[in-house]
Amino acid sequence: MKEKYAGSPLPPARPRLGSMPAAGPCAACAVRMLSVCGVIQENDLHRLAAIAKAQEAEAHHTFVTAGDPAAFLFNITEGVVKVYRLLSDGRQQITGFLFGGDFLGLGADDTYAFSAEAVTRVRYCRFERGALMRLLVEFPRMEQRLLGIASSELAAAQEQMVLLGRKTAREKLATFLTMLSRRMPSLGNPRDRLDLPMSRADIADYLGLTTETVSRTFTQLRGEGLIELPKGGGVRLRRESALAEIGEGG
């Protein structure tokens, strides 16, 4: 097995920058300001903490299964998650990779229509669905924020449809790398170094390709000097703007 991440314990969550320590786990959350929780005032945080339960999942653990009652919503605090759907014969489509700060659970009604699996070891907050919904009534700003999140997820989903329906393998991979690159700053990493904790098979299932095509396309991009593929895994982007342009069909 690959298990690049499973073995090593996660470092402790970073304390929130530039603020006094406050009571409760939410106040210490490293990604609070990135997430839904950022709109709750300090003195109301205990209300949020009351319905939140911090949890961890090992790499490859499936913590949401399509078809199960949608009892919980989640906020990823650390690590990488893949969200996917399956066809009856096992074909898989990954609908998104989630990182620290990302919200999980919109788009579910009574039962989950998707599954979610930890790609690396993952930390997340689990909210009881009904309790969170009741809280929204009291904190309208949180509901507004959730609507904003849903809205941007929708925009991202439409973007992904363009990718899946109309882009070539080369454009798909270039877009994928560019999108990951853009997320790096908020995760505190340099934009040109990507860890790629997900397997080639996962990348393929996200881009609507096969592992072989993903692999060949990586090789092709390396051959053109656009990326490097260092020994230990990951990618280094050598010409981000060129990649971005390829991704746009340029």
Partner DNA sequence: CGCACACTTGAGTAATGTCAAAGAGTGTGG
Partner DNA sequence: CCACACTCTTTGACATTACTCAAGTGTGCG
Binding site for DNA (CB under 7 A): 1-4, 7, 168-170, 199-201, 208-216, 218-219, 229, 231-232
Sheet holding 227-228, edge to edge: 193-194, 235-237, 227-228
DSSP 87-138: -TTS-EEEEEEE-TT-EE-TT-SSB-SSEEEESS-EEEEEEEHHHHHHHHHH
* Among the listed residues 22, 33, 155, 201, the single contact to a second copy using CB under 8 A: 155
Q: Does 213 bind a second copy (CB under 8 A)?
A: no
* Stretch 229-248 residues interacting with a second copy (CB under 8 A): 248
- Who's near 58: CB < 8 A, 6+ residues apart? 6, 118, 121
* Cβ at position 197, least distance to DNA in Å: 9
Residues 79 and 20: their CA atoms lie apart, in Å, by 26
Q: How many residues bind a second copy, per CB under 8 A? A: 43
158 lies in the site for a second copy, by CB under 8 A: yes
If we measure between CA atoms, which residue out of 152, 154, 142, 27 comes closest to residue 73? Answer: 142
CA distance 250 to 246: 5
Residue 16 binding target from a second copy, DNA, none, CB below 5 to 8 Å by type: none
Interactions with a second copy, residue window 109-128 (CB under 8 A): 109, 113-114
The residue from 157, 182, 186, 212 that contacts a second copy (CB under 8 A) is 157
Pull the structure tokens for residue 110: 């009574």
Computed on alpha carbons and rounded to an integer, the radius of gyration of the chain in Å comes to: 19
Nearer of residues 126 and 167 to a second copy, judged by Cβ: 167
Nearer to DNA, 55 or 210 (CB): 210
Interface positions, 71-100, toward a second copy (CB under 8 A): 85, 87-89, 91-93, 95
Q: How far apart are CA 135 and CA 48, in angstroms?
A: 8
Picked from DNA, a second copy, none, the partner binding residue 162 (CB below 5 to 8 A depending on kind) is a second copy
Question: Closer CB to a second copy, residue 32 or residue 145?
Answer: 145
State yes or no: residue 220 binds a second copy (CB under 8 A).
no
Amino acid at 108: A
Residue 106: which of a second copy, DNA, none does it interact with, CB under 5 to 8 A by kind?
a second copy
Output b/e per residue, 43-81; b: 16+ Cβ within 10 A. eebebbbebbeeebbebeeebbebeeebebbbbbbbbbb
Sites of contact with a second copy (CB under 8 A):
85, 87-89, 91-93, 95, 106-109, 113-114, 136-137, 140, 143-144, 146-147, 150-155, 157-162, 164-167, 205, 207-208, 248-250
